[in-house]
A = this chain, B = another copy of it.
Amino acid sequence: MLDNPSLTLVPGFRAAAVHARVKASSPPEKLDVAVVASDTHAVAAGVFTTNRVKAAPVSYDQTILARNTAGIRAVVINSGNANAVTGAQGLADAHTTAEVAAAALGVEADSILVMSTGVIGQMLPLDRLLPGVTAAVNALDPAADAGHRVARAIMTTDTFPKEAAARVTVAGRTVTLAGVAKGAGLSAPHMATLLSVIVTDVAIRPAALRAALEDAAGRSFNCVTVDGDMSTNDTLLVLANGRAGNPVIDDPDSPGYTEFLDGLRQVSAALARMIARDGEGATKFVTIRVTGAPSWDVARQVGLAVGNSSLVKTALHGEDANWGRVLCAVGYSGAEVDPTRLALWFDEVQLVRDGAPTDYQEADAHATLTKPEVLIRIDLGQGDAEAEVWTCDLSYDYVRINADYRT
């Protein structure tokens, strides 16, 4: 992983963000329109929400990615308005946004992708958004700060910007990967809007890039939010411009694919952990490690059930070692667990062995929860597979933030 990560660490990419007042009440310092541009056509792949109520930019990007063969030149992102549940007008507005960006860049509209996050059910304020898009295009810059500004522009209730970057060697060439993400709303992972853009200079074909993105997303973002149960807007995009000059990666069996995938997993996992750390109202970062599973899928399924439990997360917030709630979530996870084989630790303190409480000391169990980082380890006693899930506690502030989001 690289220090001082920024999208613009990747050769051939420029970035910019401006304050366009997408949300009328936003303060002047709130950046809310960002553009990430590739100097040349880039291969692109996306992972999108599976919600049947899809935001307009999701439908728009899916259409573009399905028909675009020439490559992508830019991604336009706005915060402050999700352009979701906005019907045909919303789709037209996504298209208009792409056209304005394309005109400013001097490229074809089909080479532009769009992302939106914010409140649902309100039309995009095009009168303010479109001048912002043009201004951002005109401000595109390869400096590190431009990437940092993008990371800030896509924030909604996030409390800190999320950036990560890595370098790996692919078939003898140095490949750089850098990404930004926004998250929040973790206690309702069904509806946490998650946006992420990762750029890289690897040379790769679309199908191989798609395979790598799906693998990396499954082990990172989908270990924070529940895959198959996403918000109206969730979108992960990766753009690869080929500047690294490695032999083009054709498919997962090509030389260098594994090394590139490793870099993509690193960046994705780093961004995903930041999202958990910054869950709305979070005061603790919680890692749930499930071991002894018959498969990685089962391990993740169990971890997500525990990580999504409001009762587990309120207990963690209260620093109450109420491990019964953890086992209860394991029990309803849908996995075929054998209760008599379960073991459970909070950090190094073993609380359950063979499905029954150990003679641990309450004070020791409590002490593990007083720290800002908590590790819950569950062993299913059924195999060798394991997975990690990241989450946070559920606090008063979660309720405060979400009781009053629109005002």
> How far is B188's CA from A310's CA once the two chains are assembled, in angstroms?
6
- Taking CB as reference atom, which chain B residue is nearest A84? B324
- CB neighbours (8 Å) of A122 from chain B are 357
> How far is B323's CA from A84's CA once the two chains are assembled, in angstroms?
11
**Once the chains bind, are B325 and A120 in contact (CB under 8 Å)?**
yes
- CB neighbours (8 Å) of A86 from chain B are 356-357
**Once the chains bind, are B405 and A395 in contact (CB under 8 Å)?**
no
* A229 CB-CB contact with B under 8 Å: yes
- The one of B52, B190, B315 in contact with A336, judged by C-beta atoms closer than 8 angstroms, is B52
- Taking CB as reference atom, which chain B residue is nearest A323? B121
> How far is B329's CA from A234's CA once the two chains are assembled, in angstroms?
14
* A87 CB-CB contact with B under 8 Å: yes
> How far is B331's CA from A352's CA once the two chains are assembled, in angstroms?
39
* A26 CB-CB contact with B under 8 Å: no
**Once the chains bind, are A187 and B87 in contact (CB under 8 Å)?**
no
- Taking CB as reference atom, which chain B residue is nearest A335? B52
- The one of B82, B84, B354, B357 in contact with A121, judged by C-beta atoms closer than 8 angstroms, is B357
* A355 CB-CB contact with B under 8 Å: yes
Contact indicator per residue, chain A 308-324, by CB within 8 Å of chain B (1) or not (0): 01110011011010111
* A367 CB-CB contact with B under 8 Å: no
**Once the chains bind, are B402 and A311 in contact (CB under 8 Å)?**
yes
* A185 CB-CB contact with B under 8 Å: yes
Query: Are A190 and B314 CB-contacts (below 8 A) given A54-B339, A120-B327, A399-B394?
Result: no
* A66 CB-CB contact with B under 8 Å: no
Contact indicator per residue, chain A 322-350, by CB within 8 Å of chain B (1) or not (0): 11110111111001110110100000000
**Once the chains bind, are B188 and A311 in contact (CB under 8 Å)?**
yes
> How far is B314's CA from A407's CA once the two chains are assembled, in angstroms?
14
**Once the chains bind, are A53 and B191 in contact (CB under 8 Å)?**
no
- CB neighbours (8 Å) of A188 from chain B are 309-311
> How far is B396's CA from A188's CA once the two chains are assembled, in angstroms?
16
Taking each of A53, A89, A356, which has the highest tally of chain B beta carbons within 10 Å of its own beta carbon?
A53
- CB neighbours (8 Å) of A185 from chain B are 311
- Taking CB as reference atom, which chain B residue is nearest A322? B406
- CB neighbours (8 Å) of A119 from chain B are 322, 324
- CB neighbours (8 Å) of A339 from chain B are 52-54, 85
Residues of A within 8 A of B (CB): 50-54, 82, 84-87, 89, 119-122, 185, 187-188, 190-191, 229-232, 309-311, 314-315, 317-318, 320, 322-325, 327-332, 335-337, 339-340, 342, 352, 354-357, 394-396, 398-407
* 9 A-B contact pairs sorted by A residue (CB < 8 Å): A52-B335, A52-B337, A54-B339, A85-B324, A230-B332, A318-B404, A322-B405, A395-B399, A399-B399
Q: A51-B332, A231-B332, A317-B403 are in contact. List 9 more A-B contacts (CB 8 A).
A: A53-B327, A87-B340, A120-B324, A120-B328, A191-B329, A314-B398, A320-B404, A322-B405, A396-B400
Q: Which 10 A-B pairs have the closest CB atoms?
A: A120-B324, A318-B403, A53-B331, A314-B402, A87-B356, A188-B310, A51-B331, A121-B324, A52-B331, A188-B311
